[in-house]
Structure 1
Amino acid sequence: MNQTFRTKSRHGYSVKFSPYLPQRIACATSQYYGIVGSGSIFVLDVDPSGVRVVQQFEWSEGVFDLTWAENNENILVAAGGDGSIQVWDVSQPQGPLKALREHTKEVNAVDWSQTRNEHFVLSASWDKLIKLWDISQAQSIETFQGHDHIVYQVSWSPHVPGCFASASGDHSVRVWDCRRSDGCVALIPAHEAEVLSCDWCKYDQNLLFSGSVDGLIKGWDIRKPAHPVCVLRGHKYAVRRIRASPFSGSIVASASYDFSVKIWDTEQELCLDTVEHHTEFVYGLDYNLHVPGQMADCAWDELVHVYQRPLNLP
């Protein structure tokens, strides 16, 4: 069953399913397409009767991404247009528990580590920096430098503790290791245009996917990054978000500025399905870890869709 929620004058940037509650999603939105104005975070519960707002948080500037805590079902961390990352408690309707401010420009992305016991969060910004945080502390633990342009996304490895990837406007994807003094362990000149998204295969610790303004999705073996292991062609415009399936090592979903979501078989380099239910740029995309085949997306048309796609697509 498909469910739809309208964010009402807020344009969708990111949507994430809760790792704890199968019915719960959070959506990061911004006013006026994120150019000016404030932002809102919607925490939603989805069931056959519809979509219910559990909590709505307001921020003075746009909110461009969010991530659920891996150790507390009520904690969210959000990325702000004012350079902040905010820590929110869904069980408390008042303002954020804290706002951490070190980035000097907009924060594009945040991600919570899935492989370590610490409360580690990454943030990526227009200031070209990536920061590592323990949200129980007032300052960041470490700052990673190397990208020559905006860092659009960071993604923790689901397999290797301390390892993460980043996607940047400098056309590259980088792989980093928090345990090494030099940080960056692989520089992949992935595309001939800005790289907007990256995500790890959930079944192969060496396989990383990238999506770019050139409309292409590429798969990379990080041990041999000279050539991609697959190239997926079909989007007409920029690929804004990639999500590797948690249920199949060969399935990847992508969201694009061409208003569509596509589902791909990376082994056959084949588009299996195209979902066209938005009328604006699609920014957010996620899989539900608890419900096989269930997905959510959000777009600049003020709509959040939650829907089911068959796992056994032809």
Structure 2
Amino acid sequence: MQRDSRISFVVLTYNEEKHIARCINSLLPFAKEIWVIDSFSTDRTIEIAEGLGAKTVKHPFENQAQQFNWAIRNCEIAGDWIWRVDADECISEECGRKVTEAIATCDEDINGIYVNKAIVFQGYKLKHGGWYPAPQIKVIRKGYGESENKVMDEHLIITSGRTIYVDGDQTDENLNDLTWWTDKHNKYASREAVNMLMMQYEMDADAEGVEAKLFGNDAERKRWLKVRYARMPLFLRPFLYFLVRYIVKLGFLDGKLGFIWYVLQGFWYRFLVDAKIYEMKRDFGFDENKLKAYLNGLCQTSR
């Protein structure tokens, strides 16, 4: 007998009235229920979500990982499977259909599903530079997975069993302008600076969920490369990162909009992270012990 393949979706929101209807409408054909975990939006996010049948809960935001983990531990999730989708994302009909088919027929020890992460920047879908298809675990069996506890660049992990890959797109297409984008990434850079220092000083062992493996899956390989990146000299590494993405991985084939993306995401953002790291080190007189004590304090308050 076929198992129930309907899914409980978890969507984290804050002031997402521009995106939330598009997101939820893409989920509805495959949803047993949709949970919107809102960080006290001041716009119409909740009104729109509830109007489309979503269940909404308000909870203070600390970071993406903790917000998602709070949701799966505290909400009365009915589905046997949980699919995490950001508010500015949507899933293709093909992806939803393939995942539900996989859930209905997969082996009992399959507890996680990889799907493609696609990025659309100012209306253009990136195809090169290593940005696509970039498979990530987005679907987990309830009780067998969670988000790894990282302040930035967190991934879903499974606690036991195996994973499978479904060739379908979960598309990230934010509709806000570049002023909003750069403001958001300025805030991201502050969190990423802490994340990079934690990796550099090997202080994030208890937060690790995705193993760093050169010959592992896409997420494991990226984690392996990021660990090496964290040990490279400040300000040199953004140049190398941009060159690898834009030249070696053929990002230049993504045209003018791709060029804007690779400069902003592949150089400007990474350079800003390094500048914030340098600022923190300078503020602590380049005393590694003082900086580690500060980072340890941040970890304690975020738990």
Q: What interval of TM-score do these two structures reach, taking the shorter chain for normalisation?
A: under 0.3
Which of 1 and 2 has greater Rg? Answer: 2
| Greater relative contact order, per chain length (Cα 8 Å cut-off, separation 6+) | 2
* More helix by percentage: 2
TM-score w.r.t. structure 1 length? Answer: 0.24
* More strand by percentage: 1
